[in-house]
Structures are given as structure tokens and as C-alpha cells.
């Protein structure tokens, strides 16, 4: 019977998706990583998305792997192979298998008859039974069950056993016993599969050469490295998913690169604050004193930082804030993804405030945008937000190897030293402003001639307290001009208008892969669309030109209210009627199908 089904299924070599359903806290992640890395090593474009619960042990967790020889590795909505190892979610999981697909399960226990689908092939592997016979101790048995399962998958997916052996050797260097038990568990699963099933499956891997020169890296690690390379010396934070690994990585790389070899002393200081109010306060204090300082957080932290963010804006103090977005409002779903902090960051704090935002789409951009964020923050003396998200930040992505230009010189902005101050007749904090409406600042500890009183209360261009309308407005109006001037320093949008279509699709951040794939799929349905991915705010001329050049614009983003669309209508002259929305905000990374469905509905309406 299985034989028959194999023939009706089209070949899915290097073009399929599989999902592993597990219980968290049972060590499934190392098996997941092993598979992902092996596919990457075989040169095939791949993505791995970890859908994990906000919990330490016992709740459902999934790992989705999508393999696509064309590089379309945004999230798949249906799976050719389901590895159903979690009884709690079994029914839901099996329902997500494509017709003609496969389900692998642990046949140590009988399958619930009611859950058997006629159009799906079941591959039973007695994982628990085999591991109980082979390994001692409950913990090892559970861990090795995951590895044995990976072994069966290696066989069924045609993954090269030598690649796997090499990965184990690397992973367990110096831990021979562990390597050996892992290898043994892999073999168990592998040999069972090869002796019981027709292998490999139609969905399988064949070596390619598409990942040469690439690396696997997550966005938080890349962003942290970007901060190290940017020369950040003070970092302050309060732990919150999904941003925690950013600061962990920063501390790790600083320990490696920032310890003075001669003195053994640290050229950095990481402050774990008591809350996010303190974290942003520390960043402002450090930046005010002349350090490059940053914080990393997520939505709830941004909410807490509001008051001081306004102070940073009004008193013109640099700050870099990484917001690794998760699902809101409130605590929301801490381990799920959204892009729903766009508006709250753009206008963070009471009063007339407007901030600078950068929107990285993948880990390499997290790395590049980090120094850019510091440059902008110091040049324009203002807080700058880097709006990453959980999908970018915490999942491993196939990324071009990170590159650094050794000729980079940090843009520290206009800061007067003691000599320059002596040349001046008098120093005033907020005048004279340059062509970009920025006035020079001074740092404490340099010269009495540069002393001034930084305040969030009403101030004159000299920096003195005021309650007179004209004096207050002079400063506030310059801040508005300054914000406008930032636009031309924001990375230009990524535009593909080769279709020269009247329809333009606009998106941002981690939507990129899904949208690009969707545009291809839409093309096959005779729906042509141009593409623009905005990379920051305030919006520059190129963004306005794209909006101008298209009759209909569909904004694709991951939030309920169309926040990017709102920002575009508020901050560009585009007419509101031209802008439509395709939204996905359930918390899973965006799929091309979500976009195709949404766009089709609008176009065909």
C-alpha cells in the first residue's frame, strides 16, 4: 500500500516541509538542530522555526523545517511529513499533513484508530521501546529517544550519514561517551527505518551547492555582534523573551573580544537592571556621558521605558534600543512573533515625540544595522529603535557570512572637545544647529566651558529653563526638522519594480521571504506586483516615490491594525484609499500562502 502511495506523490526532492511535534523540556532541540544543520551542510536552502511555549517543561513545542531548492524558506502551512511525538497535540498535528504525506509516530504504543487519515501514510517506529532496551536511566532514555527519532528521519529523508557523523564529532568534541551514545541512538532509528520502510521518501534531500559561503545564525547573536563591532561599551537590560539571547550573546562576545589582554580588565560593562525603566535610564546616562550604550527588550519593556524615551528625544540624548518583538498586547504570547510595536516605538512617550526606527529583515541586517543605529543615534542625538522580532531573533537562518569593513569609523556626531570649546565665545547646548538641525553637544568631564544642565523640562536654545511659548517652540520645531533630516540617512528601501505593475506590495522586516515567494506565486496566477521593503522610519524620498508610482498598494505586515500602513498614511503624502492591508497576527511566522490568499482576495474583489 505504501508503495502505491509513493508513486502518486510527485517528487519533492529538496522541496518539502516537515514538522516535529514534541513536549518541551525533553531535549528535542538538539535533535532538531542536528537535522537542520545536516541539511545546511548538504548545501540545500533550509529554514528551521522553533514554535515553543512560554513554559519550562511539559507543554507542546514544535520545530518546523522547510527545505526549498529555490531558497523559498518562509514558513510552510502544510507539512509533507509530520513527526508526531506529542500525544497532547496529535489530532491537531495530523490534520496539518498534506494529502499524500507521511506521519512518523512512536509505535511503542498503539495508534488511536480515530486519528488515522486515509490519505496519509503512517510510519511507526518503536522509539521508546528501543531506547528503553538500549539505554539506562529515565533522562537518558528520553533524550536518546529524540536522537533515535532523528536517526529514522535521516534514513527517510536521505540525509548523508557521514555528514551526521561529522556533526556529532564536532558537537561532542572531547566528550567521547556522549558522542558514542548519540551515534548509537541515531543508528537505532536509522536501522529500524531502513529495515522496515521503503526509503528514502519522495520528500528527501539531495546534495546541492546553494549554501556555500553562508552560515547559520540567529538575529539576536548577529545584533549582539553588531553592537560589539559598533564599539558599544555599556549595555543595560532586564531579561525578557525573545530579547534575552541578544544580551547573552553580547556578554559572551565581550568576554571573548573585550578583555584587555594585558590587564585582564573589561572594556565593557553589562548592567542587569532592576526593570526596563532603569535599563533605559542607564543607557541614557551612559550615552550622555559619552559611551555608546544600548538596551535590548521586547514590547512590555518598551511600554515601561516610555517616559525616559521622551526625555531622550527632548533633551537630545543618544540611545539604541533593540526591540525583539513578540505578540502583544499586554503579556500577549511571549514566545510567538508579531510586528506590533511599530507605532508605539515611532511615537513612544507623551507629548509630541517622534523616533527613528530601523527594520532588519534577517540576521545579516541585524548585524549591519547595529552600527548604523549607533551612528544615527549619535549623529542625531536621539533614541534609535531597531525593530527585530522573535522569528529573526531566535531562529537560525541561512545567512550570508557576516562581513565587516575594517575602514568603518564610528560617526560620533557633533561633540565639542576642550580645544573647540576654547575657540567659542560661548557654548549653548541647542544652538547653533547645522543643516540637519543638530546642535553640538559636550560631555561631562571635559571642560567647564561646555557645562550645561540637561533637562526634560521646557528649555531655550541655550539650554536654560523656560516657560515662554516662543522659546519652547523654537526647540520643539527644530526637533521636528531634525527628525525629517534623518530620512535620508535611513537605509534605502529594497525595491523590485521589474514587473512595472500598477500594484505594489509593501512590507517590512521578517515578512520579506514570504512576500517574495508570494509575488512569484501570484505571478503564476497572472497577478503582477512590484515590491518594496521599507527599512526604517522616517520615510525617505524613495519610499514616497514607490507609493506615488503605484495605483494600489498592499501593505503586508504582522499585526492586527496595519501599523505600517498607518505610519505610511500619517508620515507620507500617500492617499489613504490607495493603501490596503494583508495582515497575519496569530503569532506564527508569515507564510507565502497567507500573502497569496490576502492579495488575491483584494485584487479579485
Partner 1 sequence: MPSIVKPVVTHPGLDRNALGLTIRDYEGGMSTLCAGCGHDSVTAAITHALWESDTPPHMIAKLSGIGCSAKTAAYFARGAHGFNGCHGRMPPIATGASAANRDLLCIGISGDGDSLSIGLGHLAHLVRRNVRMVYVIENNGVYGLTKGQFSASADVGSTTKRGEANHLQPIDPIFLGLSVGATFLARGFSGDKRQLVPIFRAAMAHRGLSVIDVISPCVTFNDHEGSTKSYLFTRQHDVQMTVTDFVPPAEEISATIPTEGVVSIPMHDGATLRFRSVPDGYDPTDRLAVMEHLMSARGRGEIVTGLLYIDEQSSDLHELGNTTEAPLTQVPYEKLCPGSAALAGVGFR
Site membership for partner 1, residue 233 (CB under 8 A): yes
Residue 158 or 285: the one with the smaller Cβ distance to partner 1 is 285
Site membership for partner 1, residue 132 (CB under 8 A): no
- Choices 46-54, 147-155, 202-210, 222-230 (CB under 8 A): range interacting with partner 1: 222-230
Taking Cα atoms as reference points, which of 217, 106, 202, 200 lies closest to residue 154?
A: 200
Taking Cα atoms as reference points, which of 429, 426, 414 lies closest to residue 465?
A: 429
Residue 104 cell numbers, joined: 512518523
Question: Which of 34, 279, 302, 327 is close enough to bind partner 1 by CB under 8 A?
Answer: 279
Site for partner 1 in 467-506 (CB under 8 A): 467-468, 471
- Choices 124-132, 335-343, 399-407, 487-495 (CB under 8 A): range interacting with partner 1: 399-407
User: For the window 29-58, what string marks contact with partner 1 as x by the rule CB under 8 A?
Assistant: --------x--x------------------
Q: In the bound complex, what is the minimum distance in angstroms from residue 224's beta carbon to partner 1?
A: 11
The 8 Å CB, 24+ separation contacts for 2-7 are 2/121, 2/197, 2/198, 3/198, 5/100, 5/121, 6/198, 6/201, 6/202
For residues 50 and 17, is the Cβ–Cβ distance under 8 A? no
Site membership for partner 1, residue 321 (CB under 8 A): no
Residue 377 or 599: the one with the smaller Cβ distance to partner 1 is 377
d(CA 295, CA 224): 10
Site membership for partner 1, residue 224 (CB under 8 A): no
Site membership for partner 1, residue 173 (CB under 8 A): no
Residue 571 cell numbers, joined: 508620515
Site membership for partner 1, residue 379 (CB under 8 A): no
User: For the window 257-276, what string marks contact with partner 1 as x by the rule CB under 8 A?
Assistant: xx-x--xxxxxxxxx-xxx-
Q: In the bound complex, what is the minimum distance in angstroms from residue 449's beta carbon to partner 1?
A: 8
Per DSSP, 14 falls in state T
Residue 336 or 414: the one with the smaller Cβ distance to partner 1 is 414
Residue 279 or 321: the one with the smaller Cβ distance to partner 1 is 279
Site membership for partner 1, residue 109 (CB under 8 A): no
Site membership for partner 1, residue 399 (CB under 8 A): yes
Site membership for partner 1, residue 446 (CB under 8 A): yes
Q: In the bound complex, what is the minimum distance in angstroms from residue 591's beta carbon to partner 1?
A: 25
Site membership for partner 1, residue 73 (CB under 8 A): no
Residue 319 or 376: the one with the smaller Cβ distance to partner 1 is 319
CB-side neighbour CA atoms (13 Å) of 146: 23
Q: In the bound complex, what is the minimum distance in angstroms from residue 408's beta carbon to partner 1?
A: 8
C-alpha separations of 107 from 95, 122, 154 in Å: 19, 10, 18
Q: In the bound complex, what is the minimum distance in angstroms from residue 343's beta carbon to partner 1?
A: 22
Q: In the bound complex, what is the minimum distance in angstroms from residue 392's beta carbon to partner 1?
A: 14
Site membership for partner 1, residue 70 (CB under 8 A): no
Question: Which of 455, 489, 544, 560 is close enough to bind partner 1 by CB under 8 A?
Answer: 455
Site for partner 1 in 402-421 (CB under 8 A): 402-406, 408-410
Residue 58 or 444: the one with the smaller Cβ distance to partner 1 is 444
d(CA 488, CA 539): 8
d(CA 550, CA 529): 10
C-alpha separations of 257 from 1, 248, 387, 465 in Å: 59, 14, 26, 44
Q: In the bound complex, what is the minimum distance in angstroms from residue 453's beta carbon to partner 1?
A: 4
Site for partner 1 in 335-354 (CB under 8 A): none
Indicate if the alpha-carbon torsion angle 409, 411, 417, 421 is positive or negative.
Answer: positive
d(CA 337, CA 54): 12
Question: Which of 31, 225, 342, 534 is close enough to bind partner 1 by CB under 8 A?
Answer: 225
d(CA 34, CA 30): 6
**H runs (alpha helix) in 198-243:** 219-230
Segment holding 533, helix H or strand E: strand 530-534
d(CA 85, CA 107): 10
Residue 269 or 545: the one with the smaller Cβ distance to partner 1 is 269
Contacts of residue 509, Cβ cutoff 8 Å, sequence gap at least 6: 339, 359, 360, 361, 387, 388, 389, 392
C-alpha separations of 345 from 325, 372, 458, 536 in Å: 11, 18, 23, 12
For residues 151 and 187, is the Cβ–Cβ distance under 8 A? yes
**H runs (alpha helix) in 197-298:** 219-230, 244-257, 276-288
Site membership for partner 1, residue 84 (CB under 8 A): no
Site membership for partner 1, residue 577 (CB under 8 A): no
Question: Which of 111, 115, 215, 499 is close enough to bind partner 1 by CB under 8 A?
Answer: 215
Residue 124 or 231: the one with the smaller Cβ distance to partner 1 is 231
Size of the site for partner 1 (CB under 8 A): 82
Site for partner 1 in 280-299 (CB under 8 A): 280-291, 293
Amino acid at each position: 500500500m505504501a508503495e502505491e502511495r509513493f508513486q502518486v506523490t510527485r517528487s519533492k526532492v529538496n522541496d518539502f516541509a516537515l514538522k516535529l511535534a514534541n513536549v518541551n523540556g525533553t531535549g528535542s532541540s538538539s535533535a532538531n538542530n542536528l537535522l537542520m544543520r545536516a541539511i545546511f551542510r548538504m548545501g540545500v536552502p533550509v529554514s528551521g522555526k522553533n514554535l515553543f511555549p512560554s513554559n519550562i517543561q511539559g507543554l507542546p513545542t514544535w520545530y518546523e523545517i522547510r527545505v526549498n531548492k529555490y531558497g523559498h524558506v518562509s514558513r510552510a502551512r502544510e507539512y509533507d511529513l509530520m513527526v508526531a511525538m506529542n500525544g497532547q497535540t496529535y489530532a491537531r498535528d495530523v490534520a496539518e499533513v498534506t494529502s499524500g504525506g507521511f506521519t512518523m509516530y512512536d509505535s511503542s504504543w498503539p495508534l488511536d484508530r480515530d486519528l488515522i487519515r486515509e490519505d496519509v501514510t503512517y510510519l511507526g517506529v518503536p522509539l521508546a521501546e528501543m531506547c528503553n532496551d538500549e539505554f539506562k536511566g529515565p533522562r537518558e532514555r528520553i533524550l536518546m529517544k529524540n536522537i533515535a527519532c532523528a536517526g529514522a528521519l535521516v534514513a527517510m529523508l536521505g540525509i548523508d550519514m557521514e555528514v551526521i557523523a561529522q556533526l556529532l564529532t564536532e558537537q561532542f568534541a572531547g566528550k567521547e561517551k556522549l558522542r558514542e551514545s548519540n551515534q548509537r541512538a541515531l543508528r537505532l532509528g536509522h536501522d529500524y527505518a531502513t529495515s522496515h520502510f521503503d526509503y528514502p521518501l519522495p520528500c528527501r534531500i539531495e546534495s546541492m551547492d546553494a549554501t556555500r559561503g553562508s552560515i547559520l545564525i540567529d538575529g539576536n547573536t548577529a545584533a549582539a555582534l553588531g553592537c560589539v563591532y559598533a564599539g558599544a561599551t555599556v549595555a543595560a537590560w532586564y531579561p525578557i523573551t525573545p530579547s534575552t539571547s541578544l544580551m547573552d550573546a553580547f556578554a559572551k562576545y565581550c568576554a571573548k573580544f573585550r578583555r584587555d589582554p594585558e590587564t585582564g580588565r573589561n572594556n565593557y560593562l553589562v548592567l542587569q537592571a532592576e526593570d526596563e525603566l532603569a535599563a533605559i535610564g542607564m543607557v541614557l546616562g551612559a550615552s550622555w556621558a559619552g559611551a555608546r550604550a544600548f538596551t535590548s527588550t521586547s514590547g512590555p519593556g518598551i511600554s515601561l521605558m516610555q517616559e525616559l524615551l521622551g526625555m531622550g528625544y527632548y533633551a537630545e540624548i543618544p540611545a539604541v534600543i533593540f526591540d525583539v518583538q513578540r505578540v502583544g498586547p499586554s503579556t500577549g504570547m511571549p514566545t510567538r512573533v508579531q510586528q506590533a510595536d511599530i507605532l508605539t516605538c515611532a511615537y513612544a512617550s507623551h507629548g509630541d515625540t517622534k523616533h527613528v526606527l530601523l527594520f532588519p529583515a534577517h540576521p545579516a541586517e541585524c548585524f549591519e544595522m547595529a552600527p548604523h543605529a549607533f551612528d544615527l543615534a549619535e549623529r542625531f542625538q536621539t533614541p534609535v529603535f531597531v525593530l527585530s522580532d522573535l522569528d529573526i531573533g531566535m531562529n537560525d537562518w541561512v545567512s550570508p557570512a557576516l562581513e565587516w569593513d575594517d575602514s568603518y569609523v564610528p560617526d560620533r556626531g557633533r561633540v565639542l572637545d576642550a580645544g573647540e570649546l576654547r575657540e567659542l565665545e560661548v557654548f549653548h547646548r541647542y544652538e547653533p544647529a547645522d543643516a540637519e538641525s543638530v546642535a553640538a553637544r559636550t560631555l561631562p568631564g571635559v571642560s567647564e566651558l561646555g557645562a550645561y544642565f540637561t533637562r526634560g523640562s521646557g528649555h531655550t536654545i541655550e539650554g536654560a529653563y523656560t516657560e515662554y511659548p516662543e522659546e519652547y517652540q523654537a526647540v520643539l520645531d527644530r526637533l521636528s526638522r531634525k527628525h525629517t533630516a534623518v530620512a535620508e540617512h535611513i537605509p534605502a528601501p529594497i525595491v523590485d519594480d521589474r514587473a512595472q505593475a500598477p500594484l505594489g506590495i509593501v512590507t517590512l522586516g521578517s515578512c520579506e521571504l514570504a512576500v517574495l515567494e508570494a509575488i512569484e506565486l501570484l505571478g503564476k496566477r497572472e497577478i503582477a506586483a512590484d515590491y518594496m521593503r521599507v527599512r526604517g522610519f522616517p520615510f525617505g524620498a524613495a519610499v514616497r516615490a514607490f507609493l506615488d508610482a503605484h495605483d494600489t498598494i498592499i501593505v503586508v505586515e504582522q499585526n492586527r491594525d496595519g501599523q505600517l500602513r498607518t505610519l505610511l498614511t500619517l508620515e507620507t503624502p500617500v492617499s489613504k484609499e490607495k493603501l490596503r492591508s494583508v495582515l497575519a497576527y496569530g503569532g506564527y511566522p508569515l507564510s507565502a500562502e497567507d500573502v497569496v490568499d490576502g492579495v488575491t482576495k483584494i485584487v479579485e474583489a
